[in-house]
Amino acid sequence: MGLPRTQLMLIVQMLFLFVADPVVVRSVDIDSSASSLDALLQEYAYKGLVNPKTGVPYDAAAPSNMSGISIRALRLRSGSFRRYAVDSFKEFEIPMGVIVQPYVERLVLVYQNLGNWSEVYYPALPGYTYLAPVLGLLAYNGSNLSATNLPELKMRASGDPIHVKFDNIKSLPDGTVAKCVRFNLQGMPNFSSVESGNTCSTIQHGHFSIVVESIAPSPTPTSPPGTVPPPSRKKNTTKVWIIVGSVLGGALLMALLALLVVSICKLKKRKKMEEMERAADMGEPLQMATVGETKAPTATVTRTQPTLETEYVP
Ligand SMILES: *[C@@H]1O[C@H](CO)[C@@H](O)[C@H](O)[C@H]1NC(C)=O
Ligand SMILES: *[C@@H]1O[C@H](CO)[C@@H](O)[C@H](O)[C@H]1NC(C)=O
């Protein structure tokens, strides 16, 4: 009796997973490639710290197969990091009062400029175009400079925010507004407004850039030139439709499957009921034996076997 219900529950769960899938897959994709890049760049940034002086930034070489990315490392005592500002760590201006968690005695700030690799690791969000490279600011435990795969420390500004002053922002198309974007370590974007034309504020570590919303194609033929959407937009729309299509198709398939299972269960149940009814009609369950073409009940209990007197021969 409990069988159909559990099967139904399973199907509902599968359906839910299937529908939720594209979203999950997308964030996991960004997460895994970007976080393995973070790990790789941490390792390479630490290679630039050979007998480092505390408070002095060192440029490091990015992996040779990733030319175009620049990295810089700065080792600090976390006590002085909290008490003093780091005025210009490339584009970053870090005020006093920034706290890292969990507590470490020494920390290393790692700066990343992903340059022309920005879109490879942080694919432009549908409908947005980058006006600046993606910059990263991350902190790690600095007690062992040959450590790899270190977890990022949480960085939080307790007073003034951290400022990111972008150097060369691409010019803004007419009638558009630039936005700051921050990606957290899971690759999830968060938008905020641009200050003074080129500055973003943050109270946390992460990856930062400036984006502009692509202008949607105008339905009227009188649209001025320059509002032509970038070619990637059409691709993104197609992608979205593919996802929507596969989700709907999958859902339909699941629904059909569920219907099939339910009807099979119903059929089984009805058959069982019929058998039980038939058995009830006959008063007691009798085993059926085929006699010729017709079925006839046979006794289940064997009668006393006839015995021959001759067997009692002394
Ligand atoms: C570059 O090389 C590193 C190994 O040094 C590898 O982990 C990484 O995936 C490579 N990146 C690309 C884009 O080929
Ligand atoms: C970025 O530019 C460098 C040359 O400066 C080139 O070697 C590299 O392949 C480029 N990367 C990408 C993803 O286009």
Distance from C-alpha of 87 to C-alpha of 165, rounded to nearest angstrom: 12
Encoding tokens for residue 208?
A: 């930062």
User: Which atom belonging to ligand 1 lies closest to the Cα atom of 36?
Assistant: 7
Q: Is 159 in the pocket of ligand 2 (CB under 6 A)?
A: no
Residue whose Cα lies nearest atom 14 of ligand 2: it is 116
Residue whose Cα lies nearest atom 9 of ligand 1: it is 37
Q: Is 67 in the pocket of ligand 2 (CB under 6 A)?
A: yes
* pLDDT recorded at residue 271: 77
Residue whose Cα lies nearest atom 7 of ligand 1: it is 40
* pLDDT recorded at residue 18: 46
User: Which atom belonging to ligand 2 lies closest to the Cα atom of 115?
Assistant: 1
Q: Is 117 in the pocket of ligand 2 (CB under 6 A)?
A: yes
Q: Is 183 in the pocket of ligand 2 (CB under 6 A)?
A: no
Q: What is the mean pLDDT of each run of 10 residues along the chain (314 residues)?
A: 53 48 46 88 97 96 96 96 95 97 97 97 92 98 97 97 95 91 94 96 98 69 42 49 67 79 77 67 48 48 48 46
Ligand 2 center to residue 83 CA distance, Å? 39
* pLDDT recorded at residue 7: 59
Ligand lying nearest the CA atom of residue 120: 2
* pLDDT recorded at residue 274: 74
Question: Is residue 125 exposed (0-12), middle (13-18) or buried (19+ Cβ within 10 Å)?
Answer: middle
What angle (nearest 5°) sits at the alpha carbon of residue 34, between those of residues 28 and 192? Answer: 90
In three-state secondary structure terms, 21 is helix
Q: Is 49 in contact with 108 (CB distance < 8 Å)?
A: yes
User: Which atom belonging to ligand 2 lies closest to the Cα atom of 119?
Assistant: 13
Helix axis angle, 3-47 relative to 231-281, nearest 10°? 150
In three-state secondary structure terms, 102 is coil
Q: Is 135 in contact with 94 (CB distance < 8 Å)?
A: no
Ligand lying nearest the CA atom of residue 113: 2
* pLDDT recorded at residue 269: 79
Ligand 2 center to residue 82 CA distance, Å? 37
Q: Which residue, 234, 193, 200, is CA-closest to 216? A: 234
Mutate to test the pocket of ligand 2, among 33, 64, 114, 116 (most ligand atoms within 8 A of CB): 116
Q: Is 161 in contact with 202 (CB distance < 8 Å)?
A: yes
Ligand 1 center to residue 66 CA distance, Å? 7
Ligand lying nearest the CA atom of residue 69: 2
Distance from C-alpha of 79 to C-alpha of 89, rounded to nearest angstrom: 18
Distance from C-alpha of 192 to C-alpha of 179, rounded to nearest angstrom: 6
Q: Is 119 in the pocket of ligand 2 (CB under 6 A)?
A: no
